[in-house]
Amino acid sequence: MKKPYPQVAYGAVYFRKSNPPREDWERDYARAAADGMNIFRHWFLWGAIETAPGVFDWADYDRQLELAARYGLGTVIAEFSDSVPEWFFHRHKDCFAVFRDGTQAAFSGLSGSCMTGGFVPGGLCLDNPETMQYVERFLRALAERYKGHPGLFGYDIWNECNYHPDTCYCAHTRRKFRQWLEKKYGSLQALGVAWHRYSYSDWEQVQAPRFEMQCTECMDWLAFRKESYYELLGWKADILRSADPDARITAHGVAATLDYTYANGNNDWLAAARVESYGMTWVMGRKGTEPWKQWQAADLVRAGARGKTFWHAEMQGGPLWLQPQVVGREPEDGRVATAEDIRLWNLVSLAGGARGILYLRWRSLLDGPLFSAFGLYSDDGLPNARSEMNAALAKWANSPRAKALFAAYPQKADIGILVLDQIQDFNRLIQQAGKGKFFSRCLWGAYRLFFDCHIPVDFVHFDDIDQYKTLYFAYPIQINADQAARLREWVERGGTLICEGLPGYFGDRGRVCTVQPGSGIDALFGVRQKTVAFMPDLGDRIRFSAFGAENISGGLFRQSYEVTDAEPIGRAQIIGAYPDGETAVTLTRHGAGTAVLIGTYPSEGYFRESSPAAREMLENLLKRLHITPPLTVSGAHIHARLCEGGGRRFLWLINHDKDSRSAAVTLENAAGSAASIAAGIGEVYWGEHVRMNGGQILAEVPGRDAVVFEVV
């Protein structure tokens, strides 16, 4: 029988051989249980377990599960089949990935995250049937040993869900790629036409591209790698399920769908689809502590989980020393974690829908480059102010009093930021001017713009657009014909599309469309392109006006329009490059819906400059579209999140500033009226100093803290 989920999972990664010291294990388990923890995850390293072919040393791991059962913790077994035994590395070199340049790793290294051997650059290639055989044997041995154990909770697969950007080019992967291509194109002749290689005479001549270019074969290679990887992730899950049907299967990525899909295959939607619960590694010492960043990570991964349980699976609990991500940053920017940081980071993820908080380390490693890093408890395993703060949070979150609060989840937003990750792939391929992460900057900038205006917004996968009435499409430069048709139909049925510049400029197979906007969506916007400029290095010069706002920052590229069936709204210029007065913003009705087109990238401009003019534009645009945000918030540094469940609503007011701040919040109904929406304040679950005054909620929120209460 599967163990039930805790009300909120609280715990940490504990054992990474050979840390912490064996003599402290039982004391640490007792401390964790007393401090309200209910989950430990351990790295089960193949390279440390199968010490000789068919010979398994489980002693350290058996002890972890025995202690978990004794102290009432559930164990998440993190399978590390990418940690290979030394004997395997030296006997089975063909099982390892081949790099883009045709080489293979010549050595077995140490992981800085556990200081244990068997970590090989590039890793294993699971397209190789021999590799699959050995990995399956290890996974089955793992599950068969621990299934039914009273200390077991479940399994975590393929740590952080990503692959090496320059692998694999071995014969097995190339063969699998050819099979994928044959299924897609049907014939070698059709492939040759698509790839502009007109002289193929045999499938063996088809190679995986070793270069990056905006061409069909590179786009196919990226799509194949991603699809193949997540099929193999599902294969691992299926093995564990078949060996232990009662255990739970989880996974966690790094909240990087907007950033590293191209290079490392991170895709929260694809990963979460293959497991029962899903989570993220998010480390403030590596990412920075600007308030919007953690919120967008939580919102992104929650969207990818599509209603499944979502955990902040690896959170920072202590300092980070001597790593490149922290050099030059102030101590309070995640370098030195404090008890107040622990409180704030927990509250943000919990408000964002996480129902699990696990730390990267219960206590820090004592050796290697990540010495003394991330540990919630001190290096000797003893408590400190950070761990005491966590204990208070863990006990609060799992108290019977908080049951209704944590059965509620963030209210579905009225507006979604559209995520079409093929565009990130294509963006990388066209960046002859430099790898500027244009896709990432635009989606981050769009999120920040809504965040700073206190307007709730969700990330929406393209497959899920029918669940939303309003979509914001940042950086829409490459859309295929089928996707364009679906967007047209969605707007015709009543959807509202707010789209940035150059929509569908590149169409099927990455070709420039001869009619712009491209891919058949010019009729959707009622315009034709007049001028276009691809000058991202001069993008910071772009300024435009729209919806009553002036001098709004654009970015990257600029497109102006001849209006055929639309209302001109605003004009744009590139200072020193184009004359003033060209139409760059339009609005049109299309069927029952509305389409707004902004001929540059205010999202990238806002990411770069965070100008008030962009906020003014967005607020005025939503008024023009009769879209009323569900709440208004006055008060610097306060972020509000409305959660609902079981017919009840709860409001989280979180203060990111170090000083106490006041907030006034009004909840709106669909018609934009505050009447009868917040008749009163129910139970206060966290904090104090909140009251009603004439339909407004007034709160005083301490520094780096929150007030959490029911709205009745």
Residue 456 to residue 623: CA distance in whole angstroms: 15
In this prediction, residue 247 carries a pLDDT of 86
What global pTM score does this model have? 0.96
User: Two tokens at 99?
Assistant: 């790099």
Residues contacting residue 693 through CB under 8 Å, at least 6 positions apart: none
Residue ranges of the chain with per-residue pLDDT less than 70: 432-435, 570-581, 669-679
Q: Is 688 exposed, middle or buried (0-12, 13-18, 19+ CB in 10 A)?
A: exposed
Q: What is the pLDDT of residues 563-620, one digit of tens each?
A: 998 788 766 554 433 445 688 999 999 999 999 999 999 999 999 999 999 999 999 9
The H-assigned helical ranges of 160-283 are 171-185, 188-195, 216-243, 261-264, 268-272
Residue 269: how many CA atoms within 13 Å on its side-chain side?
Answer: 15
Distances (CA, A) of 155 to 237, 249, 253: 9, 5, 15
Each residue of 113-124: pLDDT tens digit?
999 999 999 999
Round to whole Å and give the CA distance between 196 and 194: 6
pLDDT of amino acid 571: 63
Q: What pLDDT is stored for residue 376 in this prediction?
A: 98
Nearest-5° angle of CA 45, CA 48, CA 53? Answer: 110
Taking only the tens place, the pLDDT of each residue in 240-272 is 999 999 989 999 999 999 998 878 999 999 999
